[in-house]
Structure 1
Amino acid sequence: MSPQLRIAQDDVADELLSSDPFALLIGMLLDQQFPMERAFAGPAKVKERFGSLDPAEIADADPEAFADLCATPPAVHRYGRSMAGRIQAVATVVRDEYDGDVTRVWTTAADTTELVKRLKALPGFGDQKARIFAALLGKQLDVRPDGWREAIGPYAEEGSRRSVADVTDEASLLEVRDFKKAAKAKAKSAAG
């Protein structure tokens, strides 16, 4: 991966996201009920504390010890212990189903439909998260299997500011945050 990502808005964390595909996947996993840039800084904390982001090593780690390091302040997520389990679960899938190479999730997918299906099968990834991560791969890392825009939907729209797939700097992070606030307010208004 050669593009320089700017999701965490932190040089060390963004360098790791740019150079380690498993870090990027873990950042996406952590991106829920937590500020986006802090979620994507989480993999750097895990690496600093655990010493590695090797999926096999994480999968094999003692669950209690791993949960402790994820929950130690500043925690990798507001639900550090729970997310530690999800990180280990994703690491186990990568180790067992993709021979420890997370890029095989997308490099061996026949098309975007298969890619999204594979992402949805990962622990902690639902349909929306899978589509957002596929859009991130397409928009920022040029991973664009046949039909990627159509299969992903609105998250793949050119020029949109609706998800982490669109964050390339501080200004775009703020635009995405504004979009999400407006969408929440609209949903709340429609429900109430």
Structure 2
Amino acid sequence: MDATLHLAQDPDADALLGRSPLAALIGMLLDQQIPMEWAFKGPRTLADRLGTDDLDAHEIAAHDPEAFAALLSEKPAVHRYPGSMAKRVQQLCQYLVEHYDGDPEGIWRDAGSGAELLRRLEALPGFGKQKAQIFLALLGKQLGVRPTGWRTAAGAYGETGSYRSVADITGPESLTRVRAHKQEMKAAAKAAKTTGSR
């Protein structure tokens, strides 16, 4: 995997995301309840604190849980909830070690279809259907992983020319468009809630 991503809006962090499947997965895992750039900068911060230029699932899985939580909690914290996210990151890495010998690319390398790849992503700790579909769309749109039917499996996130998620961010302009889409969705959800409670 060697791609140019623009999710962290930080050259070093984005370079790691583009070459390390594990960094991309961890960034996706962290992408909740905090700004997207903060989430996708997390893997680079974590690598720096581990004293490495890459991330290794075996190493993270075997790390002392308290010490690992402390790494994520150092200022600036990797996430708003560093303790619980440290646990999730370790669970993800433990799953990768157990099912893919620590190789994240094993998730998609031999996936026979988009539907199969989606099932594999949904099975990852911390990945629900929406997160799995967004990551599948990111794999297809920006990382060249395109098993048969990947767009269909990714749902709306797989649509060409859409600006719905991190899968569609290729620079500052597309980031602005994705942000605008998310604001519209929040406003629509809020309006529906208000209407429904009358």
* Counterpart residue number, 2:61: 59
* Counterpart residue number, 2:2: 2
Give the secondary-structure state (helix, strand or coil) at the position aligned to 1:160: coil
1:21-100 alignment to 2 at 5 Å? Answer: 21-52=21-52, 53-100=55-102
Deviant stretches of 4+, over 2 Å: none
* Counterpart residue number, 2:147: 145
**CA RMSD in angstroms, aligned pairs only:** 0.8
- Aligned equivalents of 2:50, 2:175: Cα separation in 1: 28
- Aligned equivalents of 1:64, 1:126: Cα separation in 2: 26
Shift in Å at residue 20 of structure 1?
Answer: 0.7
* Residue type of the alignment partner of 2:43: P
Deviations 1:59-79 (A, max 9, x none): 000000000110111111111
* Counterpart residue number, 1:189: 191
Give the secondary-structure state (helix, strand or coil) at the position aligned to 1:13: helix
Give the secondary-structure state (helix, strand or coil) at the position aligned to 1:73: coil
Gaps of 5+ in 1: none
Deviations 1:9-43 (A, max 9, x none): 00110000011110000000000111001100000
- Aligned equivalents of 2:189, 2:147: Cα separation in 1: 32
Normalized against structure 2, the TM-score is what? 0.95
Deviations 1:118-152 (A, max 9, x none): 11111110000000000000000111101111121
Larger radius of gyration: 2
- Aligned equivalents of 2:164, 2:177: Cα separation in 1: 8
Identical-pair percentage: 56
Shift in Å at residue 51 of structure 1?
Answer: 2.5
* Residue type of the alignment partner of 1:143: V
1:139-178 alignment to 2 at 5 Å? Answer: 139-178=141-180
- Aligned equivalents of 2:99, 2:187: Cα separation in 1: 40
* Counterpart residue number, 2:11: 11
- Aligned equivalents of 1:90, 1:145: Cα separation in 2: 23
- Aligned equivalents of 1:104, 1:176: Cα separation in 2: 30
Normalized against structure 1, the TM-score is what? 0.98
- Aligned equivalents of 2:31, 2:186: Cα separation in 1: 16
* Counterpart residue number, 2:123: 121
| Aligned residue pair count | 192
Give the secondary-structure state (helix, strand or coil) at the position aligned to 2:80: coil
